[in-house]
């Protein structure tokens, strides 16, 4: 697999790796919180996406907050449809790793999420 050496630059659509026709199926259940990770979410919640470079450790920082209903990690801003993790790590898909945070905004100040 080719690796984009300068990960500060996005590949062009022509440089992007090929993807898959269908998304990998997921269980719509947060492993720790036991809440759904895909919409619909409760009416008293809103969502925010956080791009933190790598989602592996970042997701936990959010799910531990009591005002957070659910979290999920994934990719956005892409060229390659339904990529594997290995392809995203190559730097040749145009994706960003992000954490979806589903929260009750009445229970937390948005600035607290940024800390």
Asked whether the whole model's pTM tops 0.75, one would answer: yes
Q: What is the pLDDT of residues 61-89, one digit of tens each?
A: 999 998 999 999 998 888 899 998 899 88
Q: Give yes or no for residue 95 having a pLDDT over 90.
A: no
Q: Give yes or no for residue 3 having a pLDDT over 60.
A: no
| Mean pLDDT for all residues in the chain | 89
- Three-state SS letters, the chain: CCCCCCCCCCCCCCCCCCCCCCCCCCCCCCCCCCCCCCCCCCCCCEEEEEECCCHHHHHHHHHCCCCEEEEEEEEECCCCCCCCHHHHHCCCCCCEEEEEEEECHHHCCHHHHHC
89 is catalytic: no
Catalytic residue among 46, 54, 61, 89: 54
């Amino acid at each position: 697999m080719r690796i984009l050496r300068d990960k500060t630059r996005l590949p062009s659509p022509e440089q992007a790796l090929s993807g898959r026709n269908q998304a990998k199926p997921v269980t719509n259940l947060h492993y720790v919180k036991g809440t759904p990770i895909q919409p619909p979410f409760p009416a008293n919640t809103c969502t925010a996406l956080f791009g933190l470079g790598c989602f592996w450790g970042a997701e936990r920082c959010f799910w531990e907050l009591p005002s957070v209903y659910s979290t999920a990690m994934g990719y956005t801003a892409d060229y390659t449809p339904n990529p594997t993790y290995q392809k995203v790590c190559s730097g040749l898909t145009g994706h960003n790793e992000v954490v979806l945070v589903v929260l009750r905004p009445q229970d937390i100040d948005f600035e607290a999420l940024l800390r």
